Amino acid sequence: MLSDKMQEALNGQLVAELYSAYLYLSMAAYFDAADLPGFANWMRVQAQEEVTHGMKFYSYVYERNGRVVLGPIDGPPTDWDSPAAAFEHVLAHERKVTGLIGGLVKLAVEEKDQATGYFLQWFVEEQVEEEESAEAVLRKVVEAGAEPSALDGELGARVFKPPAASS
């Protein structure tokens, strides 16, 4: 059973994950409007990943006999100065999420909630990948400079891969 404090924190993270999906959909719309469909695809795939992350939190709360309580989701930005600025935002956002996950791990230790600590390890590893991916794309976008369309095909090839089932 989850403590009230842990349940509230996990519900907060669920909302944060759904905000991330909302943010990346907003970025997809920005890139579609800029006629960069590959960039938009990359963001839509990212949004799908974030919804999946949110649903992992949703399911976990119920598996631990908790109750999901959804809070409001803030509206994301809708415009960026450039593709590079958008990916700088992606990287900053993923670093923020890494901090949120770290806070949950700390709370799990404080609450002596080993099951939640174990559950969160998947997210710790996922955030390493998320930051690495954002950094790699940002580097390529910066290198492309005034010709981001040169990357459009590469980013358009990204495909959503659901995470493997937990064992």
The sign of the torsion formed by the CA atoms of 124, 130, 135, 136 equals positive
Domains and CATH numbers, the chain: 4-156 (1.20.1260.10)
Q: At 145, is the pLDDT very low, low, confident or very high (cuts 50, 70, 90)?
A: confident
From CA 125, how far away is CA 55, in angstroms rounded? 17
pLDDT band at 165 (very low <50, low <70, confident <90, very high): low
pTM of this prediction exceeds 0.75: yes
pLDDT digits (tens, 9 = 90+) for 61-100: 999 999 999 999 999 999 999 999 999 999 999 999 999 9
pLDDT digits (tens, 9 = 90+) for 111-138: 999 999 999 999 999 999 999 999 999 9
pLDDT per position as a tens digit, 26-63 = 999 999 999 999 999 999 999 999 999 999 999 999 99
